A = this chain, B = another copy of it.
Amino acid sequence: MMGQVSWIAVDWGTSRLRVWAMSSLGQVLDNTESDQGAGSLQSSEFEPALLALIDPWLCGEASMPVLICGMAGSRQGWLEAPYISLPAKLSDVACRAVSVQTGDERLSVSILPGLCQRDPSSPDVIRGEETQLLGLANAMPNFSGQVCLPGTHSKWVELDQGKILSSKTYMTGELYKLLSTQSILRHSVGGSTSWSETGFAEGVRKGSFDNHSFAADLFPIRAHGLLFGADADRAAAYLSGLVIGTEISAELGTNPLGKTIIIGAQKLADHYRTAFGIVGADAELIDAGELTLLGLSTAHKLTEQTCDKLRDPV
């Protein structure tokens, strides 16, 4: 590894732990990851899991700043980093990081908080995506509009020049997984081997133009296979299009204006962009991979340069 490690960036999700050794100039000196996700760890197991990856980067003299985002900060994580209420400036995320006491003096660990919407009629929580949004706000400081972050739990946020106004979560990815592997529909979509653009487009149209009856749109997938012959490729893509189309149209129904930024991993994000096109909505795709690290770097800079001046003297 070249250069001196100045701080360590950590993306600690439910199923993966990813770490980066950063220089003082913000360059990545080294990186690695493991499957020690927050979902599989007890509170006491976080520090050893982290050290197993970053020990080679610790120089031993001064304590190393380690900045963590993600589920490590949930109630079931390493230490709870309480949610910040919306509306909130993304810079607040950095400045309300919570310090973790560790048994190793070489570490100076802090965890970024999540965001929440304390509206009883539309409650929501975000943890992890706020860091990607911080990266987006760094890259596009003047952007105002809606952002879609597809995934197991898709997040939609309304962004206004570095401020998050509102958020909503759709269990789209989880619904797709449950329906395609656990429900009766597994007999129809199981064994699909290639992607069907046609099936996907049909599903998106059904889900978006006819989403009154999402509950009625599922069983026909099974009945269609029984009556007209099975086509697992088409059925799987159709189901995917149905849940994604339902999500997009539910959201665009309330926020029809402007361009949506999609932050996502390549394949799923591509499907979303395709779906936006099918329903005639404007979208720009930004790769999620780089945004998390950009967000952590932005947060690190803020904690060093800005936060102390903002922080209450408690």
Contacts and interface: CB of A to CB of B under 8 A. Distances in A.
A212 interface: yes
A215 B172 contact: yes
Interface string A133-173: 00000000000000000000100000000000000111110
Interface stretch (A119-127, A193-201, A259-267): A119-127
A184 interface: yes
B178 A183 contact: yes
Range for the number of chain A residues in contact with chain B: 35 or more
A39 to B, nearest CB: 11
Contact of A250 (B124, B172, B215): B215
Contact of A219 (B120, B153, B185, B227): B153
Given A116-B227, A223-B123, A223-B125, A216 B168 contact: yes
Contacts of A11: none
Interface string A199-237: 000000000000111111011101110111000000000
Interface string A239-253: 000010011001101
Determine chain A's interface SS by DSSP, over half rule. helix
Contact of A224 (B120, B212, B216, B253): B120
A125 B141 CA distance: 54
Contacts of A179: 178
A175 interface: yes
A125 B184 contact: no
A32 interface: no
A223 B169 CA distance: 9
Nearest to A179: B178
Contacts of A247: 215-216
Interface of A: 75, 83, 116-118, 120, 122-125, 153, 168-172, 174-175, 178-179, 182-185, 211-216, 218-220, 222-224, 226-228, 243, 246-247, 250-251, 253
